[in-house]
Structure 1
Amino acid sequence: MRTILIGITGASSSGKSTLAYLLKRILPHSEIIHEDDFYKLEKDIPFDPVRKDRDWDCPDAIDMDAMKQTLSVLTEPNTYSKNPRAAVKDTGDGYYDYAMASTEPTIKDAFFKNDERTINELLGKVNAKLENFDSRQSFRIFLLDGFLILPDKELLKMLSLTLFFKTSYKALKSRREKRTYNVGGDVWADPPGYFDKFVWPSYYTYHKNLFIRGNDESYIKETGGNIKEEFMEEYNVFEFDNNDQCDADKLIENATLVIADKIFH
């Protein structure tokens, strides 16, 4: 069986999780792995003495090693003994399935509105593409949804391709500040100023070297940033605009067709 890993990335509130759920509906034999489910325990989240709070938006907040071990076993089952922290379960037929139950919500963001006809049309296009795909009955897809994929070159090399959804600072902040989370049965929201204190500074810090004009923060805030062409070519990254004024149907269509053209050929 061929295991295909596809990265879905962007800043927090860029729409990546919503798009991952839509792609799961369109792509056969697909599952989602959320990077957020690999967060370390709260006591192990780095504490920033300057900002006087734990930094949930830095790479050290995520158990990247466990996540990479998981991806390694899913793609190469014979590496199981070398990856004891992989979140997988034995299927009994020589392969492993992803074993972690996600805490991520499955409801689409309110701003993202798709026409069901678009989803159905894309299903038809993917199925037509699969007619000539040699491994039609022997592949599976894992969509890795995470905000810290691009800065990790080792992780990028494990992926067949990565979709990057770029969004302006203004849209990101507006969406993030409207969010609520269900944590242990309690409704939780960001404390005042959290986006400007942690979310944006961390995102910008760990991504700016990947962008054209990356040192110009005001430009990145306005545009969402354009990834350097040589980086996209080397790591098979494709970027898409996902601001509030974007056409949601066109966005999911473009993302689907990139995957179909690059994977099912």
Structure 2
Amino acid sequence: MPPKKQTLLLALSGPSSSGKTTLARLLHRSIFPPSTTLLLHLDDFYLPESQLPQRAGLVDWDSAGALDLVALESTLQHIRMHGSLPPTFVSKEDSNAVWAVSIPSETISALAVSTREWWTAGRIGEYVSQIVIVDGFLLLGKSIPQVRELFDVRVLLRAGFAEAKMRREARSGYVTLEGWWEDPPGYVEKVVWPGFVEEHAFLFTGGDVEGDVDEKAVRTLGIEVAPKGGLEGMLSWVVDIVRQGVERTIDGEGSG
């Protein structure tokens, strides 16, 4: 009797402007074989702006209180069961631009070739129907363990405060349910970065999210934390982590 095919959920999380969406789109569109991946964005689960919490006197888009967690969990469970997005689901996040890809096309092509050879040689398609890539700033945070536990592979990208601030402030704005949002002055310092630190400090030694990883904490939770470095190296690392996660899950050793 052939094995039952599985839908694998990959969490690609990290601070704002750490490269999550860029890498997720590359994995989905360029690296893995066509029709083997789905892409979902956490930003598609924001509540209406009128319902968002406040922080430092500003609208807070960077906390769990800004998200429709019921809809997120329901969507992930539907994907797990059916291997597809709910029929009524429409993404607005695909309308948002991401920072320009500086990765050489040769690197992307080489990763695509090796990944597709791995997929075929390992007969992955006999065991896996879809790899669902979910990118978002708060998939692995301290306050929503019920979301974190839904994922088979859990990846946390890294970016320092200065780097994240530079990239975020280079963006013109974001498409929202109501239309358009532009960060007010000081938004990264007052809202974005403090929110990330509060949710992820428990994964780092001494709570320093720019310092050393707390190896015991991440190992216990099955989280893979990216090494520091540029986007090209990060892409290669993520591809390797996803492959390992797929193989562990097929062998019955997935993180759950």
Give TM class, smaller chain: 0.7 to 0.9
- Residue 189 of structure 2 is matched in structure 1 by 196
> 1:182 Cα shift?
4.7
Residue 17 of structure 2 corresponds to residue 13 of structure 1 = yes
Residue 42 of structure 2 corresponds to residue 35 of structure 1 = yes
| Aligned pairs, number | 237
- Residue 23 of structure 1 is matched in structure 2 by 27
User: In 2 relative to 1, CA 88–186 (structure 1 residues): closer, same or farther, beyond 3 Å?
Assistant: closer
Larger proportion of strand: 1
> 1:87 Cα shift?
6.5
* Structure-2 separation of matches of 1:69 and 1:227: 31
User: In 2 relative to 1, CA 133–235 (structure 1 residues): closer, same or farther, beyond 3 Å?
Assistant: farther
Which digits, 9 at most, give the CA deviation of each residue in 1:116-135, with x for residues without a partner? Answer: 11111111111121124344
- Residue 92 of structure 1 is matched in structure 2 by none
- Residue 142 of structure 1 is matched in structure 2 by 132
Residue 223 of structure 2 corresponds to residue 237 of structure 1 = yes
* Structure-1 separation of matches of 2:206 and 2:10: 27
Among 191, 200, 206, the alignment partner of 1:213 is 206
User: Where do 1:128-207 residues align within 5 Å?
Assistant: 128-136=117-125, 139-151=129-141, 152-183=144-175, 188-207=181-200
CA contact (8 A) 1:210 1:231 kept: yes
Unmatched 5+ residue regions in structure 1?
79-85, 90-97
Among 80, 97, 101, the alignment partner of 1:75 is 80
Which digits, 9 at most, give the CA deviation of each residue in 1:78-113, with x for residues without a partner? Answer: 9xxxxxxx9712xxxxxxxx8222334464413x41
> 1:164 Cα shift?
1.0
> 1:44 Cα shift?
1.0
Give the secondary-structure state (helix, strand or coil) at the position aligned to 1:145. strand
* Structure-1 separation of matches of 2:138 and 2:179: 26
Residue 231 of structure 2 corresponds to residue 248 of structure 1 = yes
Give the secondary-structure state (helix, strand or coil) at the position aligned to 1:158. coil
Give the secondary-structure state (helix, strand or coil) at the position aligned to 1:31. strand
* Structure-2 separation of matches of 1:77 and 1:229: 35
TM-score by length of 1: 0.80
Among 103, 116, 135, the alignment partner of 1:127 is 116
> 1:31 Cα shift?
1.9
CA contact (8 A) 1:6 1:141 kept: yes
CA contact (8 A) 1:59 1:148 kept: yes
* Structure-2 separation of matches of 1:63 and 1:141: 23
> 1:179 Cα shift?
1.1
- Residue 246 of structure 2 is matched in structure 1 by 263
User: In 2 relative to 1, CA 133–161 (structure 1 residues): closer, same or farther, beyond 3 Å?
Assistant: same
* Structure-2 separation of matches of 1:103 and 1:190: 17
> 1:42 Cα shift?
1.1
* Structure-1 separation of matches of 2:180 and 2:59: 19
Q: CA RMSD in A?
A: 2.5
224-233 or 19-28, larger mean C-alpha shift: 224-233
228-237 or 153-162, larger mean C-alpha shift: 228-237
* Structure-1 separation of matches of 2:217 and 2:242: 18
